[in-house]
Structure 1
Amino acid sequence: MLKRSLLAASLGLAVLALAPTAYAQSRNSIEIRQSGYANELAARVDGHRNRLSLEQRGVRQFISTLQDGTRNGAQVSQEGGDNQAGLSQQGRRNRVVIGQEGWLNDAFSSQSGYGNVVGVAQIGEGHQAITHQEGSNNALGVIQIGRGQFTDVHQSGSGNVTLVIQGGF
C-alpha cells in the first residue's frame, strides 16, 4: 500500500506537469464535481486566499493538487472505492480537508511552511492516510473508522500537534 501511495504521489506530480491546470492569483474559488469511473483531476493554484472544492463519486478516481501561497484552502470529498487524493501546499496558514468514504481509498497530504493544518477523515475499510508536514506550529488530524486502516504521519519542526484516531465498527 505504501508503494502504491508513493506511486500515486509521483503520478500526481506528473499529472500536474502534463495536464491542463486551473491557475489563480488571489481570492479565487474553484469547484469541480466528477462522477463515474477512473476520472482524473489536477489543479494548481498560486497566490493567496484561494479555495479548492473538489468532489468525486465512483471508483478509481484520482485527484492531485498543488497550492502555493498564504491562507489557501482545499477540500476534497471522495466516495466509492480505490480512489486516491494527493494534496500539496507550500506557504503559511494553509488548510487541507480530505474526506473519503468507501473502501481502499488513499489520502496523501504534504505541507511545508508554518501554521498549516490538515484534516483527514476516512470511513470504510482498507483506507490509507499519509501526511507530511515540514515547518513550525503546524497541526494535523486523522480519523479513520472501519477495519484495515493505515496511517503514516511525518512532522518536522517545532510546536507541531498531531491527533490520530482509529476505530472499528
Structure 2
Amino acid sequence: MPFMKGSAPIRRTLKYLEAGKLVFKDRVKIFTINYNTRGDHHEGARDFTFWYLPQIQYKNPDVQVVTFKNMTPSPFIRCYMDNGTQFLIDIDSKTKEEVHNHLKKIICKSDEQLISEAEILEKKDNPANFGKGCPRHCICEIPGQVPCSGVVSLPNHMRGKYIFAKD
C-alpha cells in the first residue's frame, strides 16, 4: 500500500483524520501558520504542523489552510474571519499540545455545539425513516406499501409457503 510509506504514515489514515478535535467556528475562513524549519523555539510549531494540520484540513473543508516556512523570526498563527478581521496567535516556544489546547479554546466550536450539530445532521426528516422516535411506527403506514401481516394476510402468490411448496 503506497499510502503507508513515508514518515509517520498513520497521519494519512481515515481513523486518524477523523480523530481531530479542532473544528473551527464558521467565521474562520483562512488559517495561516508561520514558522521556520530550524530553531528550538519553532519546534512546537513544526510538530503542530506535522501532526495536527492534516486533521485541521480534514475537519474544516471550507477553511483555506496556508503554511509559510522560513519567512519569520518567531512562529505565529494568523486567522482571517469572514467579516475581514484577523488576529494573531503567538506560538513562540510552545509545545504542540499547548498550541492545540489554545486553538481549541479560542477559535474552535465547543464540544456541546459539535454534539448538537451531529444530532441535527443525524436526524434528517426523511419520510423513509420509521420506527421508535420517528413519525411512523411501521413501514406499512406509508402509502403504497403492503399492509402489516398481522392485520391483513398476504395473498398466496406473495407467500413463500405456497410458492416454494412442492406438492
Range into which the TM-score falls when normalised by the shorter chain: under 0.3
Instruction: State TM-score, norm by structure 1.
Output: 0.22
Larger strand fraction of residues: 1
With a CA cutoff of 8 Å and minimum separation of 6, indicate the structure with the bigger relative contact order: 2
The structure with the largest alpha-carbon Rg is 2
In the superposition, the TM-score normalised over structure 2's length comes to: 0.22
- Greater fraction of residues in helix: 2
